[in-house]
Amino acid sequence: MSAQPKMNMKGGRGGVREPHMSRAELKKSLGKDSTVWRLFGFIFKHYKFRFGIVLVCIVISALTTLASSLFTRTLIDDYITPMIGQASPDFSPLAVALLKLGAVLLAGVVASYSYNLIMIFVGQGTMLKLRQSLFTHMEDLPLSYFDSRTHGDVMSVYTNDVDTLRQVIGSTIPNLFQSLITLVSTFVSMVVLSMPLTLVSILMAFLTVKVTTKLGKISRGHFVERQKNLGIVNGFIEEMVSGQRVVKVYCHEKKAVEDFSVINENLRSSAYNANKIGSMVMPLNSNIGNIGYVLTAVVGASIALGGFTAWYMSGIGGATLTLGTLVAFLTLQKNFTRPISSISNEINSIAMASAGTDRVYGLLDEPKEVDNGNVTLVNTNVSEGDLLTVSEKRTGSWAWKVPERQSADRLVPLKGLVSIKDVDFGYIPGKQVLFDITLTAYPGQKIAFVGGTGAGKTTITNLINRFYEIQEGSITYDGIEIRNIEKDSLRRSLGIVLQETCLFSASVLDNIRYGRLDATDEECIEAAKLVYADSFIRRLPQGYNTVLSADGGNLSQGERQLLAIARAAVADPPVLILDEATSSIDTRTEKLIQKGMDSLMKGRTTFVIAHRLSTVQNANYIMVMDHGHIIERGRHDELLALKGKYYELYTGNSITG
């Protein structure tokens, strides 16, 4: 899945503002039940003390900015004007006042630096805790969650969506608080200085908001279209990069360039329309602010010079509009429209970031895998009289520890008797994929499943693992209903080799050890030798210490699958599930490892999903499946004698899918 670049939430100097959201969208995104408020609660829960310090620092920073604006009134009226015409003016009072102002401004700088530094810590810390919570929760999710989503979609929650919150936490939230405090304190100061001029400023601020909102609504559709086309371009490039070999094989270069030119032009057109309208916002707001500044200066000058004698008492408390008051007010007026525009943008940024919080909390709200089992797998020792006792060490002998209400826990020897009776199953309601499945695998038997793609072979093994829960019927393991067995214990008793091999960015030795984390190096090497992987491993640059690239990209498919088989071998489980384990191994290699596989399966109940019928001829029973039904069952010779579906598959010497 292509990761789309984030939209720049804030219009910078000379930049482009993103579209404003509608009132309904804002209400939905910022409502008390929204994920944004959950994020705020998460931050306050973990950083309550630091957030308190941030608020104090923001107040100090905002008030020092206000103090510097108001100081111009004192500077002109109390210091500069009285000294005009003096033969020997005394500058010492002015110097003292400037030093005091410098101290106040220094406090503001320290406060501003402090809260920005703290918010960086809070932002990164919140992302750390969110990713930790996401990963911890993800590990407890059922397999069905990952089967219904692409890997790229899940990964983008950790990257794009969590990173979207960094800007909101580190910048948007403190800027919003500072703008609110600045707006309120500036407005109060303006009212105190001059009510008529305050009315003029309110009128111009209202005009600024209306223009911004109107242009935002117009441009929003173009921005949405731009992001849509950007996603199409990203997706097309990703396809072409991953499919470059196919493009060259079929000489598709010219057609690919033509297709890209079309979608690239669509992106250019939508981006042009969006930026054209969005770019008008900053210049218009700036010019409206300049007009307001000039209008305020004209009205203020008229009042100060006595043009409106009825307005001499223009400030609260009877303050006369002096020259110093007018200059101070004009400075405040410049600062008045800026917080209004900033608040609008910050709220819009938070609302737009709600898409990221929705996806983050969407994953966190996914229900965990349900496990009501209370039967556990334990290692055992056999004492005199065949009495089983629990061992803390690995003994190679297992038992099921079954809790009893009225007596001591009962130990049931693990033999590998798996019974499936009358099982019906569907991945989604109303779409059944297994019908009345009944079979019994006795200890040490090899049960094979054959059939076409979608016949239900892998689904049966998924039910044995409890990756999914059955709707009807029952599955028992040594006479114990698997619903009553803890999933961890159940899965530890099963060794699985999947058709899709997954290797990790670690050494070969560590990848084999993934089957049993307490396995020694010697045990891992013995497991590799058992499945004939030792020879190719020793040819690697650092042998068993060779670090594999992501998913074993520096190995062939057959070598990767050999490591997966070695991983199952080192786990030494009592029951094996081999899901087309040799499908990617060539015929020569298959013959080499067949002895190792037979040795691995000896004494173990084994379920084999066969890709090649030659690998299951020695199975105790072969289940022939078709569209969720077992249509034939028996030994190899018996099924050939029936001359049914298995006979058709065998004589064709391959299996569909």
| Cβ-contact 573, 604 below 8 angstroms | yes
Q: In sequence order, what DSSP letters do the residues of 474-513 get, joined into one string?
A: EEEETTEEGGGB-HHHHHHTEEEE-SS----SSBHHHHHH
CATH class of the structural domain 195-314: mainly alpha
Take residue 340 and report the two structure tokens written for it.
């209004």
Mean pLDDT over each residue of the chain, to the nearest integer: 79
Q: Name 5's Cβ contacts closer than 8 Å, sequence gap at least 6.
A: 230
Average pLDDT score over residue span 555-579: 85
Report the CATH architecture of 419-651: 3-Layer(aba) Sandwich (3.40)
- CATH 3.40.50.300 in the chain, residues? 419-651
Res 19 pLDDT > 70? no
The Cα 11–Cα 281 span in angstroms is 9
DSSP E strand boundaries for 499-604:
575-579
- CATH 1.20.1560.10 in the chain, residues? 25-192+339-368, 195-314
Q: What is the pLDDT of residues 99-140, one digit of tens each?
A: 888 888 898 899 989 988 888 888 888 888 989 999 999 988
Fold of 25-192+339-368: ABC transporter transmembrane region fold (1.20.1560)
The Cα 369–Cα 153 span in angstroms is 20
Most confident of 371-375, 404-408, 473-477, 599-603: 473-477
Local confidence band at 571 (pLDDT 50, 70, 90 cut-offs): confident
Q: What is the pLDDT of residues 39-52, one digit of tens each?
A: 888 888 888 888 88
Average pLDDT score over residue span 629-651: 89
